[in-house]
Structure 1
Amino acid sequence: MLVPLTNDPRDYAWGSTTLLAELEGREPSGRPESEVWFGDHPADPAETPDGRTLDAWLAAEGEVTGAPAHLPYLLKLLAAASPLSIQAHPSKQQAEAGFAREEAAAIARDAADRTYRDANHKPELIVALSEEFRALAGLRDLDSSRRLVRGLGAAARPLAERLEGADASLAAVIGWVLSEEAVDDVREIIGAAAAGGSDEFAAELHLVRAMDEQFPGDPGIVVALLMNLVTLRAGEGLFVPAGVLHAYLSGLGVELMAASDNVLRGGLTPKHIDVAELLTVLDATPGAQPIVRGREVGPGVVRFDVPVADFALERVRVEAGREATLAVGGASIVLATAGAVTVTGASSGTAVSLAPGAAVFVTPDETSLRVVGEGELFIAAPGTDAAPEPSDDSVLI
C-alpha cells in the first residue's frame, strides 16, 4: 500500500524563508520555514489523505499491512538560514538511564529543563540538496585548534594554555568554556577572534563574526572554534553518531534520524543547557570531518552507509524514458526532491505522482516499487540489520 504524506513546515527562527519554497516551486510564505517532518513522531506527525496523522494511521492499519506501531526513524527536509544550536545526542544506554532518572524525579516531559524526553538515541544523517550545506561537526584535531587559538594573541591565552600538553582534554576545555568561571575570558576570546585574521582559518573567523552578531557573547562561539567546519556539496552526507558535537549552519538537505527528541545543547541557543550532562554524553575525541559519500548499488541508485540499525537512506535518480524497479525493505518513506516521478507499488498496483517536496509511505507488504518520469527521490527505510540485502531488482531497466 502507498499512502501519500503531507505536513506543514515548522517555523523555527533559524529556518530559511526561501529554500523550501524554491524546492516545492511555490511562493515563499514570508515566514522562516525550517523543517518538514515525514514520519509518525508525536511532536509533529505527517498527515494521510483521510485526515488521520501517520501515528494514528499506523495504530489502526499497521496490523493489516505489516507496518510497525511506530517507525524507528524520522525523515525531514531541513532548510537552515542561520546556525542551529551546538548539540550532541546520547547513546541508547545513556538515553534509557537518563529518561528513567528524570521520570523518577517527576520532571514533566515538556518542561524547559527536561533533557531526556524519551529513552532512545538519536544518530543523524543529512544529505545536501543545495549546492553547499555548511555545518560544524566533531572536534578538530588538537594541533590545528592550537594554531588557530595561538593566532588570536594574548586575549586567548587562557584557552591556549588549556589546549597545551599531551594530556590536554577537550572535554575539560569545553566544560571550562561553558562555565561561569570563564565568562569574562570567553568574551575576550570572542572579541579577539572577531577582530582577528588568518589565511588558514579565514572561514572559521568569518563564522565567529557572524555568530557574534546573532548570539553576542555566547560561549558556544568559542566551542565552535574547536569544531570542524564542514562544507557539503550537493549529494554528500554528514553522519553524526552519539556524543558528537554538531550544529547545522546553512543550506537545504534531507535529514534522517532515529526517532528521538533527546538533545544536549552546548551553545548558540536561549534554551536550557545542562553542561554536566552534556559532558557525560560528549565524545571529545578529535577527528576528521564525518562526511559520508554515497555508494553506488545500481545505476542511478546511491546508498549512504551508516552504522546504525534504525534507518537506511538511498538516493535514486531516474532519467526520462527509463523506469526504475526498486526493492524496498520494511516500512519505508519515499520523498521526491527534483523533477516529476510516479511511484507504483508492485503488490497493490497503486500509483502516486510526486513533485519535489512530496512524500509517500510504503507499507512492508510492498516488495518493490516501479518509478517512471524524470527526477530524484530519497528512500528512507529501517536499517541494514533489519532490511533485506540489496537484490538484482535495484537497477534501472
Structure 2
Amino acid sequence: MLVEISNTPRDYAWGSATLLADLEGRTPSGAPEAEVWFGDHPGSPALVHDGSDRTLDAWLGDHSGEAGVPARLPYLLKLLAAGAPLSIQVHPSQEQAVEGFAREEAAGVPVGAGHRNYKDDNHKPEVIVALSETFTALAGLRDLAATRRLVDALGDADGVRALRERLDAADPSAALRAAIGWVLGEADAAAIEQIVTAAASGQSEEFAAELRLTRTLASAYPADPGIVVALLMNLVELRRGEAIFVPAGVLHAYVAGLGVEIMAASDNVLRGGLTPKHIDVAELLALVDFRPAAPPLLAPRAAADGTELFAPGIRDFSLAHVAGAHVPADVVLRGVSIALSVAGRAVVTGASGTAIELAPGQAAVVTPDESPVTVTGGEVFVAMPGE
C-alpha cells in the first residue's frame, strides 16, 4: 500500500511565520507554524487520504498484521520550523523512562499535569537534518577548558565569579553538574542578571557567536536562567543537509531554521530553561550526561546510487535521503515507512507499480510489501524503523 497522508501545522509560539509556507509554496497563514507531524502519535496523528477520513493511528490499527503493518509506528517524522529558540531539553534513556513513568503512575500524577515529567515509558532519541541554508542549535556541553575561557571573558561581577567557582572542579562532569545545578536551582535573580548582562555586552573574538546568541535569548526569554545554561553548551550551525543526533542525556535546544526531524515515538521531555513551563531541577540533573563532548554531528552513509542514510544505530528509526534524483533511485524499506518530499516534484513508486506524485511538504505512508520504492525527481526523505 502506498497512500498519501497530511497534517496541519502546530502553532507553537516559537514557530516561524514563513518557513513552512515557503517550503510548500503557499501564502503564510499569519500564525506561527512550528511543526507538521507525519506519524500516528496520538497528539497529532496524520490524516490518511484513502477516502475513509481515518487518521494514521486508526489506519494502522485496521491494517495491523497485513503486509507487515504494526499497530504502532516506532518513530515520528516531523517538519520543524523554528522562528524563535525552543526550550533547552533532555530526554531519558529507555530504562529511565520506564522507571520514571511507573513512579509517576504509582504516585497518581495525571498524565496531562503541567508538572508531569514522563508521559510514556519510552525513550526519545532524535535526529534533525537541516533544510534551511543554516540551522542553528545548541547540542551537548562544551569542552570545559573552552567554557572557562568564555566565562573568563565575562568580567568579574559577583554572579560571574560564582559561576566561575563552580566550574573550577577538577572533574569536568562534576564542574558542569555543579554549575547547572546552581544556575537552575540556587542562583538568585540578581546573579543570573549579572551573568546575562555581562555576556550580552561582552566582547570575545573566540566566542562572538555565543555572545550574539545570548542577546537573542535575552530578548526572547528575559531573565531566564536557561540563558546561562546555553553559555555552557555547544553552539552548532548546520548547513543544509547536515544533521545532529541527540541521544538520551544530551542537553539540546533548536534555535532557528527549518529541518526534517525524526525521533522515537515518545513525548518525554524534561526542560532546562528558555521556557515558562515546569522545570524539575532534581530530575533534570538525574538525566543529563554532564560529560563535555564535541557537537553530536551525524554524517550520512551512502546506501545506494543517489541515496544516503542517516542511521544512528538504534532500533526505532533511520532516515533515507534521496536528493535531486534525475534518474530513479531505489530505497529499500524496513517496515512501514513514510516518504516526505521537501523540494521539487517527486514521484514515489512502489513495487506493486502504485505511484504518487509529491510536492514539497507532502507525504505518503508505504507498507513494506512495496519495497523497494523508487524515487524519481525532487528531494525526498524516507523514515523507517532502524537497523
Q: Shared fold by TM > 0.5?
A: yes
> Which residue type is aligned with residue 350 of structure 1?
T
* Identical-residue share of aligned pairs (%): 61
Aligned residue number for residue 235 of structure 1: 241
Instruction: Say whether the 8 Å CA contact 1:237–1:291 is kept in structure 2.
Output: yes
Structure 2 CA distance, aligned partners of 1:112 and 1:264?
11
Residues 303-347 of structure 1 show CA distances to partners (whole Å, capped at 9, x for unaligned) of 113021100111012433x22232212111100011111111113
1:375 to 372, 378, 385: 378
Residues 121-146 of structure 1 show CA distances to partners (whole Å, capped at 9, x for unaligned) of 00000000111000000000000000
**Secondary structure, aligned partner of 1:229:** strand
Structure 2 CA distance, aligned partners of 1:165 and 1:101?
33
Structure 2 CA distance, aligned partners of 1:203 and 1:318?
33
Structure 2 CA distance, aligned partners of 1:274 and 1:177?
13
Structure 2 CA distance, aligned partners of 1:121 and 1:244?
12
Aligned residue number for residue 36 of structure 1: 36
Aligned residue number for residue 46 of structure 2: 46
Aligned residue number for residue 21 of structure 2: 21
The equivalences for 1:195-344 within 5 A come to 195-320=201-326, 322-344=327-349
**Between Structure 1 and Structure 2, how many residues are aligned?**
381
**Secondary structure, aligned partner of 1:40:** coil
Aligned residue number for residue 393 of structure 1: none
Structure 2 CA distance, aligned partners of 1:126 and 1:292?
9
**Secondary structure, aligned partner of 2:145:** helix
Q: CA deviation at 1:187?
A: 1.5
Aligned residue number for residue 177 of structure 2: 171
> Which residue type is aligned with residue 361 of structure 1?
V
Residues 150-183 of structure 1 show CA distances to partners (whole Å, capped at 9, x for unaligned) of 1101111111111114134211210110014443
Q: CA deviation at 1:269?
A: 0.3
Assess, with a 3 A threshold, how the Cα gap between structure 1 residues 165 and 274 changes in structure 2: closer, same or farther: closer
**Secondary structure, aligned partner of 2:361:** coil
Q: CA deviation at 1:30?
A: 0.6
Structure 1 CA distance, aligned partners of 2:204 and 2:13?
31
Answering whether residue 159 of structure 2 is matched by residue 153 of structure 1, we say: no
> Which residue type is aligned with residue 19 of structure 1?
L
Instruction: Say whether the 8 Å CA contact 1:318–1:324 is kept in structure 2.
Output: no
> Which residue type is aligned with residue 366 of structure 1?
E
Moved over 4 A (4+): none
Q: CA deviation at 1:37?
A: 0.1
Answering whether residue 370 of structure 2 is matched by residue 366 of structure 1, we say: yes
Aligned residue number for residue 387 of structure 1: none
**Secondary structure, aligned partner of 1:56:** helix
Instruction: Say whether the 8 Å CA contact 1:256–1:313 is kept in structure 2.
Output: yes
Q: CA deviation at 1:118?
A: 0.1
Instruction: Say whether the 8 Å CA contact 2:135–2:258 is kept in structure 1.
Output: yes
Structure 1 CA distance, aligned partners of 2:188 and 2:274?
16
For structure 1, the residue ranges without an aligned partner over 5 or more in a row are: 385-397
Structure 2 CA distance, aligned partners of 1:91 and 1:37?
23
Structure 2 CA distance, aligned partners of 1:107 and 1:319?
50
